[in-house]
């Protein structure tokens, strides 16, 4: 590019705000962008989780390309030689004297998404203190690119529910923080040469996010600048943000990015076709091809008609056989190094599913579990419920406790730290037995209480008890969570063991 429309760019991101801005009282945003451009239906990345979405916002590609997860950005520095560079890196490569700054409440962005060798000024704090630091910094410095991540809105969504009065009030509070930053640019006479933008990484549904509901996957994006066309921006995705930043500063974007300039954003700039990603296709959501392949193999192994739900836990929480709707609650982390592909680390979160229809013969639950040394006694692996009763499998140190209402059945276990273990819990109503199978070999059998009558269950929680009120969090990694109708036979167990021992394609 030969032109440089702006001398500087500001991108303020509000974690967990989605498109709830328009439901909140935001007089400052309304005034700031009165003559700017907005879009309340910008598609964020899937899964709608922080690292995946912030990664796309700064790296210009979808999560299946950048492959960042919350645990990865928390534990590792972003590759300074990645072929998917951040907007910060491209600016630095084009202008060695550029002033770059990143202020993030959620600090993993600063080291897990932004390269560490670019001389980017970075700071972290809670949102109110962070705003103080930003304003003080701007009084003395004029960054070429300023990035900000506010986090308290997402905290309000997790704590009180997305779209609730408390969540919207936090958006209103953040509206004031944004005004303070804007006012510094206005006071210093910098607005005429600044592209000023506000957006969000994702929204939420209930008390969590990670799914593909409209309130989770659509976010607001607003821009103000001398070349911005007032009105509504055309079709846009969150990974377009880096392309917008580089266009404003007059720099060409990398060929590896799949973000592009939306229509109706800048004067004289037509909307562009979406580039293909590194896998040869535009971003897609839902179940990966490898998971589809493995799902078919698993169905052939145990019978599709017997599978009630199957969660591979590879970057999404969906039921891979498409029989059950699922929802996430609290914070979940997709991690690398699952037993097959990725896995899921449960912090304060869990997954729920409903509309189960079980036969009178019982049910079976199979899953892989890895104890990273933080597994606490009292944490629940799963819970089933109906209108009258429930059951829960809980970790109690050296035992698994299977609670059927007030009755409890205990199994001795060795959940060795750092090792993957496969467990099968079988409730065989016809034989009046409960069986726990570890690693396809060790089988413990206990009798059902004489007073217990199995009536089937209609809903399930993963990493939570049947009621969803266990305060002890399941701090381990789960993978390949499978629920089947009826009791597994010895032949079934051999088939499942062979399926995993012979390898799968993920």
- Establish how many alpha carbons lie within 13 A of residue 44's alpha carbon, considering only the half-sphere containing its beta carbon: 38
**Whether pLDDT at 291 is above 60:** no
* Beta strand spans in 134-277 (E): 145-150, 194-199, 218-224, 231-232
Indicate the pLDDT class of residue 97, thresholds 50, 70 and 90. Answer: very high
pLDDT top residue among 415 and 221: 221
Six token digits for residue 35: 């003559």
Question: Which uninterrupted H or E stretch holds 481?
Answer: strand 477-485
Residue 186: what pLDDT? 98
**Whether pLDDT at 292 is above 60:** no
Indicate the pLDDT class of residue 287, thresholds 50, 70 and 90. Answer: very low
Residue 97 phi/psi, 5-degree rounding, is -100, 5
Per-residue pLDDT tens over the stretch 241-272:
999 999 999 999 999 999 999 999 999 988 77
Question: Which uninterrupted H or E stretch holds 490?
Answer: helix 490-501
Per-residue pLDDT tens over the stretch 213-234:
899 999 999 999 999 999 999 8
Listed as own residue / partner, the contacts of 405-412 with beta carbons closer than 8 Å and 24 or more positions apart are 405/452, 407/449, 407/451, 407/452, 409/434, 409/446, 411/436, 411/444, 411/446, 412/444
**Whether pLDDT at 201 is above 80:** yes
- Establish how many alpha carbons lie within 13 A of residue 285's alpha carbon, considering only the half-sphere containing its beta carbon: 15
> What pTM was computed for the model?
0.65
* 8 Å CB contact between 82 and 88: no
Strand-pair partners of 311: 481
Per-residue pLDDT tens over the stretch 30-84:
999 999 999 999 999 988 999 999 999 999 999 989 999 888 898 899 999 999 9
Q: Is 368 left (phi over 0), alpha (psi -120 to 50) or beta?
A: beta
CA dist 419 to 235, 256, 344, 441, Å?
46, 37, 15, 16
Mean pLDDT, range 177-193, rounded to an integer = 98
- Establish how many alpha carbons lie within 13 A of residue 43's alpha carbon, considering only the half-sphere containing its beta carbon: 15
Domain ranges in the chain with CATH number 3.40.720.10? 8-249
CA 319 to CA 315: how far, in whole Å? 12
Indicate the pLDDT class of residue 333, thresholds 50, 70 and 90. Answer: confident
**Whether pLDDT at 285 is above 60:** no
pLDDT top residue among 232 and 501: 232
CA dist 340 to 261, 314, 323, 351, Å?
37, 9, 22, 19
Residue 280: what pLDDT? 35
Instruction: Note the CATH architecture for domain 8-249.
Output: 3-Layer(aba) Sandwich (3.40)
Instruction: Note the CATH architecture for domain 289-501.
Output: Sandwich (2.60)
Residue 300: what pLDDT? 83
Six token digits for residue 131: 């705003």
Sign of CA dihedral 500, 502, 505, 506: positive
SS3 432: coil
| Nearest CA among 330, 277, 363 for reference residue 473 | 330
Classify residue 113 by its DSSP letter.
T
- With pLDDT > 90 as the criterion, what percentage of the chain qualifies? 67
Most confident of 91-105, 280-294, 329-343: 91-105
Question: Which uninterrupted H or E stretch holds 395?
Answer: strand 390-395
Residue 301: what pLDDT? 83
Residue 272: what pLDDT? 74
Six token digits for residue 448: 């059902």
Per-residue pLDDT tens over the stretch 114-159:
999 999 999 999 999 999 999 999 999 999 999 999 999 999 999 9
* 8 Å CB contact between 381 and 393: yes
Other residues' Cβ atoms within 10 Å of the Cβ of residue 475: 17
Indicate the pLDDT class of residue 324, thresholds 50, 70 and 90. Answer: confident
Residue 142 phi/psi, 5-degree rounding, is -125, 85
Domain ranges in the chain with CATH number 2.60.120.200? 289-501
Residue partners of 81: CB distance under 8 A and separation at least 6: none
* 8 Å CB contact between 328 and 208: yes
Question: Which uninterrupted H or E stretch holds 57?
Answer: helix 50-59
The DSSP bridge pattern shows strands 407-412 and 37-43 to be unpaired
SS3 445: strand
């Amino acid at each position: 590019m030969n032109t440089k429309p702006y001398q500087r760019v500001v991108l303020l991101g509000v974690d967990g705000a989605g498109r709830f801005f328009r439901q909140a009282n935001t007089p400052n945003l309304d005034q700031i962008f009165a003559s700017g451009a907005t879009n309340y239906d910008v598609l964020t990345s899937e899964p709608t989780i922080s690292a995946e979405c912030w990664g796309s916002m700064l790296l210009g590609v979808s999560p299946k390309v950048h492959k960042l997860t919350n645990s990865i950005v928390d534990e590792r520095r972003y590759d300074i030689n990645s072929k998917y560079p951040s907007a910060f890196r491209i600016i630095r490569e084009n202008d060695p004297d550029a002033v770059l700054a990143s202020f993030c409440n959620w600090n993993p962005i600063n080291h897990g998404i932004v390269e560490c060798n670019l001389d980017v000024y970075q700071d972290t704090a809670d949102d109110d203190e962070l705003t103080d630091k930003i304003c003080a910094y701007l009084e003395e410095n004029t960054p070429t690119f300023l990035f900000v991540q506010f986090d308290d809105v997402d905290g309000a969504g997790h704590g009180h529910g997305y779209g609730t009065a408390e969540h919207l009030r936090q958006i209103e509070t953040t509206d004031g923080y944004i005004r303070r930053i804007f006012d510094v640019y206005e006071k210093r006479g910098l607005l005429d040469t600044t592209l000023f933008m506000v957006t969000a990484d994702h929204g939420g549904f209930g008390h969590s996010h990670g799914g593909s509901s409209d309130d989770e996957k659509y976010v607001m994006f607003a821009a103000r600048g001398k070349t911005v066309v007032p009105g509504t921006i055309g079709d846009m995705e969150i990974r377009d943000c880096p392309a917008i930043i580089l266009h404003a500063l007059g720099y060409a974007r990398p060929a590896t990015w799949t973000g592009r300039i939306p229509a109706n954003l800048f004067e004289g700039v037509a909307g562009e076709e979406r580039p293909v990603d590194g896998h040869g296709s535009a971003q897609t959501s839902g179940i990966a091809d490898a998971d589809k392949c493995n799902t078919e193999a698993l169905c052939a192994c145990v019978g599709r008609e017997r599978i009630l739900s199957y969660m591979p836990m590879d970057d999404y929480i969906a039921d891979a056989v498409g029989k059950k709707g699922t929802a996430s609650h609290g914070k979940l982390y997709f991690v690398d190094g699952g037993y097959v592909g990725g896995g899921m680390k449960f912090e304060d979160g869990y997954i729920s599913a409903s509309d189960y229809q079980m036969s009178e013969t019982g049910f079976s639950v199979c899953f892989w579990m890895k104890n990273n040394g933080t597994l606490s006694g009292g944490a629940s692996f799963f819970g089933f419920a109906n209108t009258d009763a429930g059951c829960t499998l809980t970790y109690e140190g050296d035992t698994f406790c299977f609670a059927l209402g007030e009755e409890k059945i205990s199994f001795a276990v060795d959940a060795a730290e750092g090792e993957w273990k496969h467990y099968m819990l079988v409730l065989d109503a016809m034989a009046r037995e409960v069986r726990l199978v570890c690693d396809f070999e060790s089988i413990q059998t206990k009798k059902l209480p004489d007073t217990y009558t199995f009536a089937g269950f209609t809903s399930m929680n993963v990493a939570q008890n049947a009621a969803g009120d266990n305060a002890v969090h399941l701090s381990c990694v789960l993978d390949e969570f499978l629920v089947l109708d009826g009791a597994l036979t010895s032949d079934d167990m051999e088939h499942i063991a062979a399926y995993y021992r012979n390898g799968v394609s993920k």
